[in-house]
Amino acid sequence: MFTFKEKYGPWALVTGAAMGLGAEFARQLAREGLNLALVDIQKEQLSITSKTLSREFNVEVRPIVLDLAIPDFLHHLISATNGLEIGLLVNNAGISAIGHFLDVPLDKHLSILAVNARAPLILAHHFGGLMRGRKRGGIIFVSSMSALAGTSYVSEYSATKAHDLTLGEALWQELRPSNVDVLTTIVGATDTPGWRAENPNPSAKTWPPVMTSQDTVRETFAVLGKTPSFVPGSQNRLATFLTTRLLSRKSAVGITASDLVPMSTRVVSSPIEITVPLTLPPTCGSFLRSGALFCSNWARISPNPSGAAGSSALRAPSGSGAGSATWSCGSAEA
């Protein structure tokens, strides 16, 4: 039975490692005794993180300041990692932009595409080939719950994360015979410096709740080698069940959009409606009773409306039996 270090060491390469989720991946890998090659564009913060981990865990850490958006980044990375046996690749680096697709500059969209999709593909191809030759190793793709349905106002980010999800799942199957474990972790809202910078009210209570980076990474490593993809967080998994199993594609896309419209222009021109069975599985009933999903303006509209539009939560229909109930969210200025 191999230890984690024996299977995925002696070196791990983590992109986007200066802070946030990437730094936490690096920390937990260092705790397992793996040496680290840490890639980021933020030179000062990367240096701080590298020195801290080396001192705290007594491992070798090689900081690599590199922009993954440049066309020939792999050439520079190969040179910087010369002589290192990379047993684990964590494709964590990612960038985003919030706004209407046509209002975001094309150059920004292309940078998002390069960092979030092109770079993970190139890295997986290069290091995955070396791992296949050694008959051991692992690759982690960090995707997002926005990959599960087209997410307006972060459209290119959502698309790139869908690319990572499907690529990672395909490679899980292709590389299994070579004893190379591939996992795509589908991350929800996580309390990181980047998340706080983009969130106007980071202390507000949300559903699903915001996860810590420590729990997100811990749950990810726990399933590496066991499944092609995984959603950290039990409440995130409930939300995933709703958006991928209960809602129509149209409703799922509409609901995610309603939570990301810029506050100054957030007007829902037409209601978003979903229909759910009156008799629900226990997990789904618990989910609905837990409160609002993304939108805070849910109201039951049929059958037997139980309250005026603008009720504060989407709740499980009372009673039991056959049939269904329809709920609406929208038709009001938020």
The span from the CA of 97 to the CA of 153, in Å, is: 8
Q: Are residues 159 and 273 in the same domain?
A: no
* pLDDT of 190: 80
Indicate if the pLDDT at residue 303 is higher than 80: no
Positive or negative torsion for Cα 161, 167, 168, 170? positive
163 and 295 co-located in one domain? no
Residue 260: predicted pLDDT = 55
- Does residue 260 share a domain with residue 216? no
Boundaries of domain holding 49: 4-232
- On the question of pLDDT at 56 being above 70, the answer is yes
Residues 206, 73 within the same domain? yes
pLDDT at 328 over 60: no
User: What pLDDT is attached to residue 284?
Assistant: 38
Tell me the catalytic residues.
157
Q: Are residues 204 and 315 in the same domain?
A: no
Tell me whether residue 167 is in a domain: yes
Does 193 fall in a domain?
yes
Euclidean distance between CA atoms 13 and 92, whole angstroms: 10
Identify the domain boundary among 232, 258, 287.
232
How far apart (Å, rounded) are the C-alpha atoms in residues 155 and 257?
10
Number of domains into which the chain is organized: 2
Q: 111 versus 302: which is more confidently predicted?
A: 111
pLDDT tops 90 at residue 248: no
Greater pLDDT, 313 or 207: 207
More confident residue, 151 or 172: 172
Whether the per-residue pLDDT at 307 is higher than 80: the answer is: no
Residue 272, beta-bridge partner list: 329
Q: What is the pLDDT of residue 313?
A: 35
Q: Does residue 130 carry a pLDDT above 90?
A: yes
Is 288's pLDDT higher than 50? no
> Environment class of residue 249 by beta-carbon count within 10 Å: exposed (0-12), middle (13-18) or buried (19+)?
exposed
Distances (CA, A) of 178 to 130, 170, 171, 273: 11, 14, 11, 47
Residue 20 and residue 159 in one domain: yes
Of the residues 187, 206, 232, the one at which a domain ends: 232
Helix %, strand %, coil % of the chain (to 5):
45, 20, 35
Share of the chain above pLDDT 90, in %: 61
Q: How confident is the model at residue 44 (pLDDT cuts 50, 70, 90)?
A: very high
Biggest CA-to-CA distance, the chain? 70
Least confident interval from 38-47, 85-94, 296-305: 296-305
Q: 311 pLDDT exceeds 70? A: no
